[in-house]
Homo-oligomer: A and B are copies of this chain.
Amino acid sequence: MTLDDARELFPVLRRYAYLNAGTFGPLPAAVGEIMREQAALDVERGRSGKPYFDAMMELRAAVRARVAALVSAQAENIALTASTTDGCNIVLAGLGLGPEDEIVTTDAEHFGLAGPVFTSGARVRVARVQHLPPAETVATIAAEVTERTKLIATSHVLWTNGHVVDVHALRRETGVPILVDGAQSVGAIPVEVGELDFYTVSGQKWLCGPESTGALYVRDAERLVVARPSYLSQQSFEPGGRFVPTAGALRFEPGWVAVGSLRAWAAALDLAPAWRFDRIREAAARCRERLLAAGLDVVTDAGQAGLVTFRPDGDAAQVAQSAYEQGVVVRDLPGTGWVRASCGWWTSDEDVDRLVAAVA
């Protein structure tokens, strides 16, 4: 598959310089077609009967296996969720922390992680990394760890400044369990869960799946309470709700995923070419260099992931809106004055040039 072939998969690229995979990836035509087909099947054949449920359970297993392969894990350590937020809530509620415990997080987290961290009831220590170069991130986070720290909760790629956090080094150097928000990493950079404890996956961003798809990697299911059970959490239950949990991470699955979404996400996961990460790196580097050459204040360091954040001249929301009107899709980051471009494996040099022309 060439870059031109890749771009043919995504009709939206004919219309826009679509640089917002950090929110929603472009949806491949083939993935949309599967969703359309399943909607028609559900209307015609109904959503019941043993064959329907058996196929649904097989699809869940197939998606788990694909996600596991993507992050070098085993399928039994993967729970299908509806979002990274779901994954963070499952972990934070399941750890049973109290006011004597501490969580270390950063000042550059999305509310999908920060909210669950706050509501856990633990004391929260915030490492200030938003305005630091990436080389200083690990030490800055590690410096907040105390004897009371029960969890480090951080993104792998910070959604604001786009910097990569060396989460493996952080885990190794602190010895503290870590929850990694993978919303901006899985599908954007190579990810291996290795010794990490918890890792969230977003399906609808860099993986180009339908909305409300995601996953959670759990290294050891026995270390988490099922704090938010669903029908899928139990093998059997008594009146009053006492239950025998499903084996492995499956017990944490919060609910039904539509058959159309499962089929569509599986197809999306199969679509990316082997060179995906090389092209993302290349496109992000080009984007960064062109913005710098145009005299813009670029926030993101060289050699990070797919996000390139910059401070435009003027109001960020207005710049994003004006870019949209010129056919360039990026987003502003409220409260920062920054605009963020997401460079995918489908991003062409021309997309980048259109961005620079629209914002410079």
Contacts and interface: CB of A to CB of B under 8 A. Distances in A.
Interface of A: 11-12, 15-16, 18, 20, 23-24, 26-29, 31-33, 35-36, 39-40, 42-50, 82-83, 85-86, 89, 93, 105-119, 124-126, 128, 204, 210-212, 225-231, 233-234, 237, 239-243, 254-261, 321, 324, 329, 331
Contact of A255 (B50, B86, B128): B86
Contacts of A257: 211-212
Contacts of A329: 46, 48-49
Total copies of this chain within the assembly: 2
Contact of A111 (B118, B119, B210, B237): B237
Nearest to A226: B119
Given A117-B241, A119-B227, A228-B116, A111 B24 contact: no
19 contacts: A11-B43, A12-B46, A15-B46, A24-B48, A27-B46, A32-B40, A35-B36, A36-B40, A39-B39, A46-B329, A82-B256, A89-B228, A112-B230, A115-B230, A115-B243, A117-B240, A118-B237, A124-B240, A210-B258
Contacts of A20: 46, 48
Nearest first, the 10 A-B pairs at minimum CB distance are A118-B241, A115-B229, A114-B241, A107-B239, A32-B43, A24-B47, A211-B258, A35-B39, A12-B46, A124-B240
Contacts of A254: 82, 85-86, 89
Contacts of A114: 237, 239-241
A314 to B, nearest CB: 17
A16 B43 CA distance: 12
A232 to B, nearest CB: 9
A82 B212 contact: yes
Contacts of A33: 39
A313 to B, nearest CB: 20
Given A18-B46, A118-B242, A212-B257, A110 B24 contact: no
Nearest to A259: B211
